[in-house]
Chain A
Amino acid sequence: MCGIVGLFLKDKALEPRIGDLLTGMLVTMTDRGPDSAGIAVYRDGVPGQAKLTVQVDDPDAIYPTLAAQLGTMIDAEVTLEPNNTHALLRVPVEKTSEARAALRDLVPGVRIMSDGASIEIYKEVGLPEDVAKRFEIGEMSGTHGIGHTRMATESAVTTEGAHPFSTGADQCLVHNGSLSNHNALRRKLRRDGVRIESENDTEVGAAYLTWKMQNGASLGEALESALDDLDGFYTFVVGTKDGFGVLRDPIACKPAVMAETDQFVAFGSEYRALVNLPGIDTARVWEPEPATVYFWTH
């Protein structure tokens, strides 16, 4: 069991409230996943800049000097905003790969949660409410976001085992379920040069979609082909820079409820997660069909 929440805003007036709304939804899903929690929020893109969200074990020792060190190594201007165990680094977009490699040399054990123009990912072990407070998720504004509460089954309870997983620029995925062909698929994707950092099944699902999109598929097409190539139980919610998608496996054991109004599209593992959204009483509420791709773009 895990909990998923997602919110894709159509009405800009709600953007300042997205962190607060997502936090409320996430905390409601604590029963479904009390061991770790995470959130991906899309916001504040600056043209020409990439954002990297990183996490280290000893932030007080690492973060004060990291921007300067990284800047020297990649010969570019780098800024850093610490946020608890995580930090947001901004680098010129063309230096993204170089920055990723340099970070690994500079800080052995660094965890790079995401990179992209607008994505930021914050995730840790602990109760969802505590995780949201640590990173002050409630204060964040943004255009869309996805959250996850984890009850681990396929790999250990660790920061890197928490969701969302990001395997490509501005892409992320959260998952309720378990994939059964992830080992074979991981080997295949790694042979094709796809970056997969953990032994977690969900990361393979995320990497698969990234690989498809790198080869020219749209988000919708990548999700369609996942139905053929992924085996196991899954309800996925996927984020891209300007898109938001949902896919359930053909058996559809893992629960899902969606709601749509003129202001937003929302996803919850249970209706409970949606009850405090503005206008929910008059929203169109439905259960997404099995083996059917849903996606929205800005």
Chain B
Amino acid sequence: MPTYDLEVNGLRGFNAALHELAGTTPNEPWELVNPKGSHAIAVGLDAPIDVTVAGSTGYYCGGMNKQATIRVAGSVGPGVAENMMSGTVIVEGDASQYAGATGHGGLLVIKGNASSRCGISMKGIDIVVHGNIGHMSAFMGQAGTLVVCGDAGDALGDSLYEARLFVRGSVKSLGADCIEKEMRPEHLELLADLLARAESDARPEEFRRYGSARKLYNFNIDNAY
């Protein structure tokens, strides 16, 4: 297994080596040691490769990921897996703000807590947070699923489009146009699959579902000032 020491060899070399693998099917997993909170680790990957980051990272870890499985044995700074297209990003610790922002696809798993704006403007990504999430999460979420095993902060799902939100714990407040919806069998099925893939032992029946009331979709003169 190639081990890369970020402190000795620098960030650009690491990302360049992983970019070299684009379009191939690598057999060996990679390990990065001494990340020391650096930004933009394992960004822009495009190969079915396993990458383990042994420590905590700064901004934008795993951004724009395609196909790769990136596991962070630590916590991550703002914007983890931002604009992810496919693949999996797993964070063993906590995530800072706007985790999974604008993500189009793939699975983001946060085993600790995520702070504010988790899944903001999500466009198809699936996000499972084992702990709690902060305020303004899933703001303007268009597609994809956000699963929260703990509690959600203020203004969950404000100005939501068609992203699906599931929360097991409490919701401090719902944002504009976000409402609780009935849990149907297909939602339990969806949750069971996501929770299993996210290595969570939470039970689907414990969750409540939230979604868009679809009142803000079109211009409504009554909403004008």
**Which of A62-70, A142-150, A214-222, A270-278 forms contacts with chain B?**
A270-278
Interface check B104, CB cutoff 8 A: no
**Are the CB atoms of B37 and A290 closer together than 8 Å?**
no
Chain A residues with Cβ under 8 A from B37's Cβ?
270-275
**Complex-state Cα separation, A285 to B115, whole angstroms:** 13
Expressed in whole angstroms, the minimum distance between the Cβ of B154 and any Cβ of chain A is: 9
Expressed in whole angstroms, the minimum distance between the Cβ of A273 and any Cβ of chain B is: 8
Chain B residues with Cβ under 8 A from A274's Cβ?
37
**Are the CB atoms of B58 and A272 closer together than 8 Å?**
yes
> What string of 1s and 0s marks CB contacts (under 8 Å) between B130-166 and chain A?
0000110000000000000000000000000000000
Interface check B124, CB cutoff 8 A: no
> What string of 1s and 0s marks CB contacts (under 8 Å) between A259-270 and chain B?
000000000001
Expressed in whole angstroms, the minimum distance between the Cβ of B71 and any Cβ of chain A is: 18
A:273-291 near B, CB below 8 Å: 273-275, 285-287, 289-290
B:58-93 near A, CB below 8 Å: 58-59, 75, 77-78
Interface check A255, CB cutoff 8 A: yes
Expressed in whole angstroms, the minimum distance between the Cβ of A72 and any Cβ of chain B is: 53
Chain B residues with Cβ under 8 A from A273's Cβ?
37
**Are the CB atoms of A290 and B116 closer together than 8 Å?**
yes
**Are the CB atoms of A271 and B56 closer together than 8 Å?**
yes
**Are the CB atoms of A255 and B77 closer together than 8 Å?**
yes
**Complex-state Cα separation, A275 to B74, whole angstroms:** 13
Main secondary structure of the interface of B (DSSP, over half): loop
Closest A-chain residue to B38, C-beta based?
A272
Main secondary structure of the interface of A (DSSP, over half): loop
Chain B residues with Cβ under 8 A from A255's Cβ?
77-78, 96-97
Expressed in whole angstroms, the minimum distance between the Cβ of A216 and any Cβ of chain B is: 32
**Are the CB atoms of B75 and A285 closer together than 8 Å?**
yes
Interface check B46, CB cutoff 8 A: no
**Are the CB atoms of B78 and A271 closer together than 8 Å?**
no
Do A286 and B94 form a contact, CB below 8 Å, given A252-B116, A255-B77, A271-B77?
Answer: yes
- Residue from B58, B59, B96 in contact with A287 in the complex, judged by beta carbons closer than 8 Å: B96
Chain A residues with Cβ under 8 A from B116's Cβ?
251-252, 290
Chain B residues with Cβ under 8 A from A252's Cβ?
97, 115-116, 134-135
Closest A-chain residue to B35, C-beta based?
A275
Chain A residues with Cβ under 8 A from B38's Cβ?
272
**Complex-state Cα separation, A271 to B72, whole angstroms:** 15
Interface check B36, CB cutoff 8 A: yes
Residues of A within 8 A of B (CB): 250-253, 255, 257, 270-275, 285-287, 289-290
Q: Can you name 9 A-B pairs with beta carbons within 8 Å? A: A250-B135, A257-B77, A271-B37, A271-B57, A274-B37, A275-B37, A285-B56, A285-B75, A290-B135
